[in-house]
Amino acid sequence: MLKTLFINALKILVAAALIYWLINSGKLDFKLLAQLVNYPLAIVAAVVLSLLNFLLVSYRWETILRARSSVKIPLLGILQITWIGQFFSSVLPGSVSGDLVKILYVQKFDENFSKKFVFASILIDRVMGLSGLILLVGVSSLLFGRHILETAPAMGPLLSINYLLVMLVVLSLGTFFYFHNVVRLLLVKCQSIALKGIFEKLTALWDDLVMIKGHMLKAVALSVVVQFIAVLIFWSLIHPFVGGHMDFVQALAFIPIGLMTLALPVAPSGLGVGHAIFQKLFEFSGIQNGASLFNLYFVVTLVVNVLGVIPYILTKTKK
């Protein structure tokens, strides 16, 4: 208990220190947030797209759960759970807290779901989301790499990282779909060498993954759409303030990389950490107020996520 409190306190201190440093150095200016109210259409677009993403993410997870479900799981129910999970992920450090809540709620729809499978389904959903994000940023970098380098030469090293990541994802997906038996044999072999208990669990998890691999391609495709919409949400909020300095193609090359870091269990919704990372990422395009621009996205999405308290209260009332 004390260890958990200490770790959480440390995370909050790290986030607070980063925010203090950004404000003190002039890189985080809250005046930009006040100016956002002058662009109500940008806010409405961000909110509507956020709700659409909740629906798509819920459908992606429902697609994975359906492979092992003995009953029909209502998409609306999964949407409620997803929103509740986002609420807890926003008010507690990291995104894992929201996943734990989702495990408890989804078992109410199908009592035959084991905690192990539900955890595996969430893990798969996370991996598919990450795969979709890397594929999106990799493909956009390949298609528009020349244009990006012409408008922002400093993004060269970042494009190289994007190419490497997309190669790793393609190789991993290829191995999973076409050579999964080889991976299983290696896991079984490792059981006889060392750490038998751990490799037995990994083998069981791998078997669960292979059993529902027919649903994976749909999950990956949905993930690419979800990540593209996430970039649109970000772009709709910052576009009024970066017009003429960068275009959407440049944003598509680095915003997904920054969003990836928000899952790090350091602070709620990436507070502080996301501000510092986006400050650096925007500097590749010659923009010096990246922390303030990220703050627009941070505040709007935080408000939408925190509204997940409504389905949480309604669900508690019913059950």
Of residues 186 and 68, which shows the higher confidence score?
186
Give Cα separations from 313 to 4, 40, 52, 61, 83 (angstroms): 26, 29, 22, 22, 12
- Provide the 8-state DSSP code for 28: -
Token output for 269: 């919704």
Give pTM, 2 decimals.
0.81
**Which tens digit of pLDDT belongs to each residue from 69-90?**
777 778 888 888 888 888 887 7
Averaged confidence pLDDT in the chain: 78
Highest mean pLDDT among 146-150, 291-295, 314-318: 291-295
Residue whose C-alpha is closest to residue 254's, from 159, 126, 166: 159
Average pLDDT over residues 299-311: 87
| Backbone phi and psi for residue 152, each to the nearest 5 degrees, phi listed first | -145, 80
Domain range list for the chain: 38-318
Residue 122: closest CA among 92, 95, 142, 91: 95
Residue 268 backbone phi and psi in degrees, to 5: -55, 125
Please report, rounded to a whole number, the percentage of residues in the chain having pLDDT higher than 70.
82
Distance linking the first and last C-alpha atoms of the chain:
29
Place 215 in a pLDDT band, splitting at 50, 70 and 90.
confident
Average pLDDT value for residue range 297-308: 88
